[in-house]
Chains A and B, each alone.
Chain A
Amino acid sequence: MNSVIANAPTELGHELRAQIRRTANHTRARRVVISKIMITLSMLALLVAAVPLVFLMYQVIKNGWPVLSKDFFTTLPQTPSLITPTVTGGVSNAIIGTIALNIYAALMAVPVGVFAGIYVAENNTKFASALRIIAQTMSGAPSIMMGLFGFTLLVRDFNLGFSAIAGSFALAVLMLPVIIIATEISVRNVPQTLREAGLALGAKEHQVSLKVVLPAALSGIVTGAILAISRAVGETAPVLLTIGGGFINAWQPLHPVSALPLTVYMNAKSEWPAQRAQVWGIALVLVAFIFVLSLGARMWASRKQKVNS
């Protein structure tokens, strides 16, 4: 039946085909020209997208590099005065503060995030899927909300005052969903056969999870954790409302501390040109640090993946 239809082209079919061919030939020149124009436009969009970003990176490097010196990293800031308008000191307080904040935050967020992520990946309960939805929603929350949370709960309600612990708590809340999602994905990607092989050999559930699944998923988990940390390092809004700032080298959890992004935010509006110039140096340090972290994590993960496969 089918072959009969296929082998019996009707007058109408011929007519239609010829008409389509005519139209196609007729409009070819126009269609090709439009296509070329649109392709050029999309390449132009790529250029338009690249220009500000290239310009931004150029400015950060050009203005930031001359500011960097040994004193920039090792000395305390000084407020310029009319007699010494170019003396700004260094930013050692902000460097120490940023390191302390992110170490505390990672110590809080990484263990909780990794184990919660494993739970979400390995359980099909309602609780697990609720956690997944919460994590995905939290990862979209604006970072200023973490600052408000840290302020309301720790600075005010727990009466800890502006402190490193309040700031690192806010950053930990920011990191948690990112780590949970990354862990869940990489644990899920471990082949089921690997788990079954471990269980068949008589290993207990936690042995399989810790000695088989976790090593296999490790590269994804570490990459996720590093990306979460590199995001937290550059965040201003959560620390703006929680850490209080300060001009001494402080790292103690209950002490007010400073941070690099916070210093950028404060000093960008400074009336002293020397302080505005110094801010570019901080921006360069931040960008360089974050690029090294995320590139390193990416390269390590892809090498690890090659080794595994």
Chain B
Amino acid sequence: MSEPRPALLDGEKVVAEEFSATTSRSWYRYLLLAASFIFAAVSVTFVGSIVAGSFSTWTHHAGTLLTRNGWQTPNGPFGGLAMIVGTLETSLLGLAIAVMVGLGTSIAIVYFVPRRLRNIVATLVELLAAVPSIVYGLWGFLVLAPWMLSTVEPWLNSWPFAKTIFGNPSQQAGPSLLLAAIILAVMILPTFVAISREVIAAVPQDLIEASLSLGATRWQVIREVVLPTARIGLYGATFLALGRATGETVAVALVAGGVANVQFHLLYPGTTIAGWIATQFGESQGVEISALTAMGLLLMLISFGLSLISRTLVSRQRKMMAVV
């Protein structure tokens, strides 16, 4: 049995009303919620429509799609093995090139480029990351592909064991898996450098100075202190670059050659999942669209996985640096 609450005085009443107006759900909260719900709905519809669009392929021809070599238009069977293998080949090779060159570049930008130039170089790298992929594709298709055919491929074919590695010269083409890998490397390099530069620059100066004071050379400091400290973030940058490489579409559609056949000779024309969707979609109907959408779903799962890994790694690195 509690005491009845005393009536509020006039002044208290005003304050109480003001307070409840501040904390109650105003129209503004509903606006924010509405925008959030729209985004959530769009995202759910996004995944839902891709799944629904490829449902019949997954339920009836999943095995064919994942393991068969050869794409029979217009009614199938649609085998996606060539695209899956091509995606792996081009993006892993491109990634290997980009990481090797990019790691050196980031180290050079952070430690060896004169301080005055450093900001300019960093801005340039970020601008290059914004160049549309179609421009890289155009350059690869109109400049590099003829050059590959006239100069690089004859030179590569003069190597020992060239036939085992690069295949028969008569089947080689300007647009090829190797060219696609090179273009991907050039494209993902700015993305990789933008993040790895940031990660390397965040390594605490104390650690570096401590190591230098113990008599380590500059390279020893980098190898024994900087790279191990930045390791997790560098893995993150690598996965981010890999995600961009696997999802890249139009540039690869232009320079890979567009042949749906499993190729292990890198100078032969091939294709990737995204590139194949782009080249094939215009002329496809019904069942083929379903099969292409199914390939898209596969690509989406791969890239969601890669971006999840890379985000976890980069944020773990940031937290670690904040603690140090």
Contacts and interface: CB of A to CB of B under 8 A. Distances in A.
A264 to B, nearest CB: 5
Contacts of A127: 36, 40
A287 B130 CA distance: 9
A290 to B, nearest CB: 6
B45 to A, nearest CB: 7
B217 A131 contact: no
A39 B218 CA distance: 8
Contact of B101 (A49, A111, A113): A49
Interface in A149-176: 149, 151-153, 157, 173, 176
B29 to A, nearest CB: 7
B218 A234 contact: no
B186 interface: yes
Interface stretch (B56-64, B103-111, B260-268): B103-111
Contact of B193 (A49, A144, A180): A49
A231 B130 contact: yes
Interface in A26-44: 31-32, 34-35, 38-39, 41-44
Contact of A149 (B50, B132, B311): B50
B107 A42 contact: yes
A206 B29 contact: yes
Given A115-B32, A120-B36, A35 B217 contact: yes
Contacts of A261: 132, 134, 250
A32 B296 CA distance: 51
Interface residues of A, number: 88
Counting chain A CB atoms within 10 Å of each CB, the highest count among B42, B240, B243, B278 belongs to: B42
A205 B307 contact: no
Contact of A240 (B52, B222, B248, B250): B250
Main secondary structure of the interface of B (DSSP, over half): helix
A265 B254 contact: yes
A237 B249 contact: yes
A142 B132 contact: no
Contact of B217 (A31, A135, A144): A31
Contacts of A180: 39
B105 A115 contact: no
Interface string A246-283: 00000000000000010011001100000010011001
Nearest to A266: B282
Given A131-B36, A148-B50, A173-B46, A141 B247 contact: yes
B143 A59 contact: yes
Contacts of B45: 149, 153
B259 interface: no
Interface in B91-128: 100-105, 107-109, 112-113, 123, 126-128
B90 interface: no
B243 A140 contact: yes
Nearest to A283: B135
Nearest to A261: B134
A134 B137 contact: no
Interface string B28-41: 11011111101110
B274 interface: yes
A188 interface: no
Contact of B27 (A53, A144, A145, A206): A206
A65 interface: no
B171 interface: no
Contacts of B78: none
A285 to B, nearest CB: 11
A230 interface: yes
Nearest to B15: A202
Interface in A4-53: 24, 31-32, 34-35, 38-39, 41-46, 48-49, 52-53
A134 B190 CA distance: 25
Contacts of B108: 42-43, 45-46
A230 B130 contact: yes
B21 A41 contact: no
A202 B39 contact: no
Contacts of B223: 38
Given A52-B186, A134-B40, A142-B248, A295 B127 contact: yes
25 contacts: A41-B104, A45-B108, A53-B190, A59-B143, A60-B139, A115-B36, A116-B32, A120-B36, A134-B43, A136-B311, A137-B308, A140-B240, A144-B296, A145-B46, A148-B50, A148-B292, A152-B49, A173-B42, A205-B23, A206-B27, A231-B130, A264-B135, A268-B254, A286-B134, A290-B132
Interface of B: 18, 21-23, 26-29, 31-36, 38-40, 42-43, 45-46, 49-50, 52-53, 100-105, 107-109, 112-113, 123, 126-128, 130-139, 141-143, 186, 189-190, 193, 215-220, 222-223, 240, 243, 246-250, 253-254, 274, 277-278, 281, 292-293, 296, 299-300, 303-304, 306-308, 310-311
Given A112-B38, A231-B130, 13 more contacts: A32-B217, A38-B219, A42-B105, A119-B35, A134-B39, A140-B247, A141-B307, A143-B247, A144-B249, A204-B21, A265-B253, A269-B254, A295-B123
Interface of A: 24, 31-32, 34-35, 38-39, 41-46, 48-49, 52-53, 56, 59-60, 111-116, 118-120, 122, 127-128, 130-131, 134-145, 148-149, 151-153, 157, 173, 176, 180, 199, 202, 204-206, 209-210, 227, 230-231, 233-237, 240-241, 261, 264-265, 268-269, 276, 279-280, 283, 286-287, 290-291, 294-295, 298
